[in-house]
């Protein structure tokens, strides 16, 4: 795609795509619409929306959203991913047993690996500065010990870069003073399980 080009990956019947088309028309933005076959998703769609693999996707300057808010929107996207995917898997690990728990463990590790990949070799998710996305995820770190004990897994063995990132975050006073002791979280969850008859 050429610089300054606006592209919309869409499916004509998508009500969500219609919203984007209305907004673009109202703003007078010229764009190329690339119709998507949702039964056979294009490589471009999978590249631009690798997590949800859904339309619509608005691409500006080869990025899946407008440049000005790109970093903030990316952070919000990943925070939402954490609060849905990571939370749901973590919740199921301590609330279920057997096959359902095994599935939750697999989901948790897969989701954490996605986040570890997003972190890459950066110090923090935003680069060299501790920011919004780091705050969104580091709060889960105090629960990792509980998930490991109750789920019989090792997050550090599966996601060592993520654990190294969490330990860097703990060197920040505001983080270390705000997170509860991991063993206290385990005691809390064991008490919850007992009260709930799990």
Q: How confident is the model at residue 99 (pLDDT cuts 50, 70, 90)?
A: very high
- Strands 6-10 vs 57-60: parallel, antiparallel or unpaired: antiparallel
Domain that holds residue 13: 6-65
Report if residue 103 sits inside a domain: yes
**Cα angle value 39/45/50 (rounded, 5°):** 100
- Tally of domains in the chain: 2
Residues 41 and 97 in one domain: no
**Residue 121: which CATH number?**
1.20.1050.10
Same domain, 88 and 186: yes
Same domain, 119 and 26: no
On whether both 49 and 118 belong to a single domain, the answer is no
Cα–Cα distance between 172 and 63 in angstroms, integer?
32
- Please state whether 40 falls in left (phi above 0), alpha (psi between -120 and 50) or beta: beta
CB contact at 8 A, 103 and 53: no
Q: Reply yes or no on whether the pLDDT at 18 is more than 90.
A: no
Return the number of other C-beta atoms located less than 10 Å from residue 179's C-beta: 18
Q: Other CB atoms closer than 10 Å to residue 47's CB: what's the count?
A: 11
Q: Do 97 and 116 fall into the same domain?
A: yes
What pLDDT does 189 receive?
94
Q: Same domain, yes or no, for 140 and 107?
A: yes
| Residues 124 and 154 grouped into a single domain | yes
Structure tokens at 55: 């339309």
Across the range 105-133, mean pLDDT stands at 95
CA distance 79 to 10: 24
In a domain, 1, yes or no: no
Q: What is the pTM of this model?
A: 0.69
């Amino acid at each position: 795609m050429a610089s300054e080009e606006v592209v919309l990956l869409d499916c004509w019947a998508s009500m969500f795509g219609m919203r984007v088309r209305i907004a673009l028309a109202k703003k007078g933005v010229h764009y190329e619409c690339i119709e998507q076959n949702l039964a056979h998703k294009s490589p471009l769609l999978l590249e631009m929306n690798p997590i949800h693999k859904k339309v619509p996707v608005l691409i500006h300057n080869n990025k899946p959203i407008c440049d000005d808010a790109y970093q903030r929107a990316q952070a919000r996207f990943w925070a939402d991913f954490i609060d849905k995917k990571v939370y749901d898997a973590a919740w199921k690990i301590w609330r279920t047993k057997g096959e359902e728990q095994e599935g939750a463990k697999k989901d948790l590790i897969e989701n954490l690996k996605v986040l570890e990949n997003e972190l890459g070799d950066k110090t923090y998710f935003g680069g060299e500065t501790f920011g919004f996305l780091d705050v969104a995820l580091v709060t889960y770190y105090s629960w990792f010990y509980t998930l490991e004990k109750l789920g019989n897994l090792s997050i550090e063995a599966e996601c060592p870069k993520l654990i190294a990132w969490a330990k860097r975050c703990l060197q920040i006073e505001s983080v270390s003073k705000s997170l509860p002791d991991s063993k206290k979280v385990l005691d809390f969850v064991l008490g919850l399980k007992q009260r709930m008859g799990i």
